[in-house]
A and B are shown apart, each in its own frame.
Chain A
Amino acid sequence: MAKIVSKSGLTVGVNLVINEPAKTIQLLAAGGLVFKEGVTWQALYSKLVDLWATSTYQDSPFPAYAIDALSGQFQIGTDGATFNGWSFADDSTRNALRNGGWSEYSAAGVLLQEFSGFTGLGSINLGAQPYYHLADTDAPTDFPFDDQFNVGVKVFGDATHGSFNKRTYAKTFCREYGKKFKSSVLSDTGATATGANSQSFLISNEDDLKILGLLGAVQATGDTAMSGAPYSGITVSYYTANQSRNIGGSPYNFKIIIDGNNATLEQIYAKVQYQLRQATDINASGTAGAKVGKIQSDLLAFVGDTLVTSQSVFIDNIQTADSNRIEFYDDGNTKRTNPYTAAGTMSFNSVLVGTGSSYRLMYTAPAGAGNDYGESGALTVLKADGTTPIAGEITSTSIGFDFDYDGSTAGGTAGTDKAVTLIGIKPGTGKFAVATGTLTRSKGISLSLVAESDRVYSVA
């Protein structure tokens, strides 16, 4: 069944009940009317006009007034000149109305309540459950039906109808597992207030390939994984005061700190998206009080393979290899990125691996005297931390390393490629071996050291 958009779809006694003594209008889920699909305000209004064109109803005042169908402005309980007390029989009827907002007046002309016609523009996945709230601290409320919304949301009630007035803010959300999150706030539409009219929100979603690729398409499987490592250690903390974090040697301020638990950026993203679907407090250790996940702003998004944070969001404890595919936006909404940290792998053949072995990565011939490989002042390449030499025992056939490509001046001008020499030996099994290579602006530098078997070495 589709939304009823014509008065011809409404039949008194079948899906429309006009109760003149009680002055109520009721819609019934019958005769082609399905509540989820609903009926447009214009169709209902037109049907009422037709009915009141007959003698049957002319003994009652006309129940509604249409200010403008295009902008969805309607009123009930008034014919535009006088107030008469007509109303809807129940909330099921109200929830079945589409493409419009309305005001409900008492016979005395008092505004009893007001509904804004929230309409989602765009496509969301079948079965998605969008939700909204009318103040930034309010708990989220599901729209009465799943799939894309088009329904009246009560934004005002007088003392006898809830006694609230929330017509200055509205935010709608669609956050589904395996889909990119979408939210739209009233100000996005250019409006400053809701009211008895239609309010459109751009809400659409699409597959989130990062989530689907990492956790699969089954939500239960993905959600269950969140209680295990490394996800369980990934948390979000909201602070009232700025938290200083060092990026590239300079301090910057952030108010939302994610503990990445040394997980990959994809895993961190997955956990944060999970948190933002929760109806519970997700503030792990921050000072900003309870933060219900479902209504918090988006924190992270992937642009290609680069993770981009929202304003004032920082991630602690990320993997070294991920340091250059993340962009932070500080509290002033300025993009901050880590200096480029090159990374790579040193490979050793088996005769070099084991206790008693030794390797060292040297600058081959850096600027200056007496510091070439083989000389007493030979420079060992330091890791990205700037203090740890890339040297030690060969514990595995593959040893990863990183170094500060943009910042290190030890072997020459920062930010330039540098020739290096990798040396290694394991007395007794592997002869001294030398390999040369270049440290480039890359995360995939590969150096390979292959030694001959040592058949001569004598312990004595």
Chain B
Amino acid sequence: MCGIVGLFLKNATWEPHLGCLLAEMLVTMTERGPDSAGIAIYSAAGGRAKVTVQSSDPLRDFETLGEDLALAGIEAGIRIKSSHAVIEAATALDRLHDALAVVRPSVRVMSAGYSLEIFKDTGLPASVVARFDVRAMGGTHGIGHTRMATESAVTTLGAHPFSTGPDQCLVHNGSLSNHNNLRRALARKGMRFETDNDSEVAAAYLSARMAAGDDLGDALAGALDDLDGFFTFVVGTRTGFGVLRDPIACKPAVMAETDDFVAFGSEYRALARLPGIQSARVWEPEPATVYFWDRQNAA
């Protein structure tokens, strides 16, 4: 069992409140996943490369990170949030990524792109939300996950969301049975894995498909053929978010849409306090059906 929440804003005046709304939704799903929690939050891209990193020793790793990156030729802005730091620089994403690997091999990359930030850690969702001050975050769309671990260790890296491509992330409720084979196949194609977690394989599968030219809709449709097991996925990209349930659809999912937002919850409880929910269109996503909302097509 795990909990998933997602919120995609159609009304720009809500954007400063995205973190606050998502935090409430996430904490409501504590009973579904008290082991660890995480949040992926997207804001309008400013054109600067952005990497979120995590450290087991933030004092050591983050104190002189700006100076060390400057010595490597990169002028970066750094925001530290507990064990995570968001590094932004007006440079190519690959260059920032490579420089980080050289000057701080000890940090782990949570997300890389232009719009996405990911914060995740072990502990109750309420404490994770407080640790990273999620309520103060604004943005256009975001997804969150509360984890009850079933098949790999309860660690920061084993928490969701998983990001395996630029501005891409995935959260998963369920378990996959062919992830070891698929991980080997994807590794041969050059995908890198940080954990033994099945959900990371699903994320990497979608990233690999999108790197090969698929849009998110096609990549999700491919997942129905190639992933074996139980899943409800919510997937984020720079401009949108998608939802997919396996054909058996044991893992719960509820969606709601108004003129202001599209929201996802593992249970209705997660949506119950959203403003305007009383008049929202509420429905259960169909099994084996790809749902996708895109900012460019919304509004």
A, B: real partners: no
A interface residues (Cβ-Cβ under 8 A, vs B): none
